[in-house]
Amino acid sequence: MAQLELDAVRKVFTDDDGSDIVAVDDVTVDIEDGEFLVLVGPSGCGKSTTLRMVAGLETASGGDIRLGGRSIVGQKPQDRDIAMVFQSYALYPHMTSRENMSFGLEESTDMTDEEIDERVQNAAELLDIPELLDRKPAELSGGQQQRVALGRAIVRDPEVFLMDEPLSNLDAKLRSQMRTELQRIQEDLDTTTVYVTHDQTEAMTMGDRIAVLDGGELQQAGTPLECYHRPANRFVAGFIGEPSMNFFDATVRGDRLVADRFEYGLREAAVNDVAGAEGVTLGIRPEDVEVTPGTEPADDNEFATVVDVVEPMGNENAVYLGFGADPTDPFVATVGGMRRVEAGQRVIARFPPDAIHLFDATTGEALHSRSLEDADPAEPRI
């Protein structure tokens, strides 16, 4: 087990016509010993490429990758002490689960057969699959194959686990089950882990820290709640959280924000943060929007809206609201599942001033994040 450092790692692919495509652009992130880091981002953001560079399956075009203080750039994958779990599991179809799991130990160590057998047995028990050891992959369900693939990585007892969207081929129920189980195993083994996913729920729930990538660039690295409550920019704010944060383009006029369809009064703290900025983007999370029945806004933080669509989720309702009578381009608010809200209903939407985020309209940088003063001090949210 060791610390893994990515230092300005870069990957450039050269296209057939000679043009360069930058897949990963100067990504710098340190993963502490025993830490679970989740690399998250939309497809094509370079997260898998980053992982494959750590594995040695792609060569880095620039920068350095250090494992335990030692540079591993230029080493063959065979010589790096890492284990990888693939999205497709990549189990060898002609081998039984036991052979699949012992293959790595046979190839990378000079352990005796008994030692290998013991390790495989232990890993199988940890994963609850001892009875599957003599079956071939074709005779296993997706979830079972997943466990064997994990077992294949675990028996190696490597410095680093690399996982490339390992849960994305499972159905929703099994996925959330495996999510918890993976976390438990990682805590038990305390092995440094880099986990790639495009699913922000996995990122939020599993990672000690998450690194958000977009367009090959690192947007933010921090704890899940940091990324949620203190997004570094508009992209992170929009990517983390489900349903996504609502955004409104506006211009600053003194202590007021003027948007196309509404004006919003800013508090002093926010006014100071946006000083000097011309165009800003107002962001508010759906669960922070307060929806009350009524037609008359009481102050400049409230707006008269009409319910366009209601999506009941059971525990909550996602309510799409349009300003005034205009149903185009609605924004989302979530309200309790027991509340009765119907399409066409007129409601007041309130954006609480301490829950708003403000971003620079051109660069997307965060200027102002929500206040956390109402957070429970006994359980700090960050």
Partner 1 sequence: MREFLSTARSRLRRAAGRDAGSDGDAERADGDGDSALATDGGTAEAGADVAPAGGTDGLLDRLDDRFGEDFTESAPFWLPPFLLVGLFVYGAIAWNFVISLTEYKGFVGPDYSDLDLDMYVRAVGDSAVIDATVNTFVLVVAFTIVALVIGMLLAILVDQKIRFENTFRTIYLLPMSLSFVVTAQFWLWMYNFNNGVVNIALGAFGIGPVDWIGNPQIVLWAVVFALVWQFSGYTMVVYLAGLRAIPTEHYEAAKVDGASTAKMYWRVIVPQLKGSTISAAIVLMVFALKAFDFLYSLVSGYRPPNGADILATKMVREAYSTNNWAYASAIAIVLFLMALSIIGPYLYYEYDKGNL
Identity of the residue, 25 or 159, whose beta carbon is nearer to partner 1 in the bound complex: 159
Q: Smallest distance from the beta carbon of 30 to partner 1, in angstroms?
A: 22
State the number of binding residues for partner 1 (CB under 8 A).
23
Report the C-alpha gap between 183 and 163 in whole angstroms. Answer: 12
Q: Which two tokens stand for residue 177?
A: 């089950």
135 forms part of the interface with partner 1 (CB under 8 A) = no
Q: Smallest distance from the beta carbon of 268 to partner 1, in angstroms?
A: 55
88 forms part of the interface with partner 1 (CB under 8 A) = yes
Distances (CA, A) of 143 to 19, 167, 193, 204, 218: 41, 9, 21, 22, 32
Question: Would the CA dihedral through 222, 227, 229, 231 be positive or negative?
Answer: positive
Distances (CA, A) of 111 to 74, 108, 134, 191: 27, 9, 21, 21
- Indicate the angle between helix axes 97-108 and 142-155, nearest 10 degrees: 20
247 forms part of the interface with partner 1 (CB under 8 A) = no
Query: In 3D, which of 231, 191, 151, 215 has the Cα closest to residue 31?
Result: 191
Which region among 100-108, 118-126, 266-274, 350-358 touches partner 1 (by CB under 8 A)? 100-108
Q: Smallest distance from the beta carbon of 79 to partner 1, in angstroms?
A: 8
Contact 284, 368 (CB under 8 A): no
Strands 279-284 vs 357-360: parallel, antiparallel or unpaired: antiparallel
Report the C-alpha gap between 268 and 271 in whole angstroms. Answer: 5
**Cis amide prior to 327 (ω within 30 degrees):** no
178 forms part of the interface with partner 1 (CB under 8 A) = no
What kind and span of H or E run contains 343?
none
Location of structure tokens 């495009």: 198
Q: Pick the binder of partner 1 from 62, 104, 143, 322 (CB under 8 A).
A: 104
Which region among 84-92, 308-316, 330-338, 365-373 touches partner 1 (by CB under 8 A)? 84-92
Q: Smallest distance from the beta carbon of 1 to partner 1, in angstroms?
A: 17
Identity of the residue, 90 or 271, whose beta carbon is nearer to partner 1 in the bound complex: 90
152 forms part of the interface with partner 1 (CB under 8 A) = yes
Q: Pick the binder of partner 1 from 1, 3, 61, 103 (CB under 8 A).
A: 103
Binding mask 44-83 for partner 1 (x = CB under 8 A): -----------xxx------------------xxx---xx
Q: Pick the binder of partner 1 from 3, 28, 108, 122 (CB under 8 A).
A: 108
Q: Smallest distance from the beta carbon of 39 to partner 1, in angstroms?
A: 17
Q: Smallest distance from the beta carbon of 207 to partner 1, in angstroms?
A: 22
Q: What angle do CA 375, 378, 382 make, to 5 degrees?
A: 55
Write out the residues near partner 1 by the rule CB under 8 A.
55-57, 76-78, 82-84, 86, 88, 90, 92-94, 103-104, 107-109, 152, 156, 162
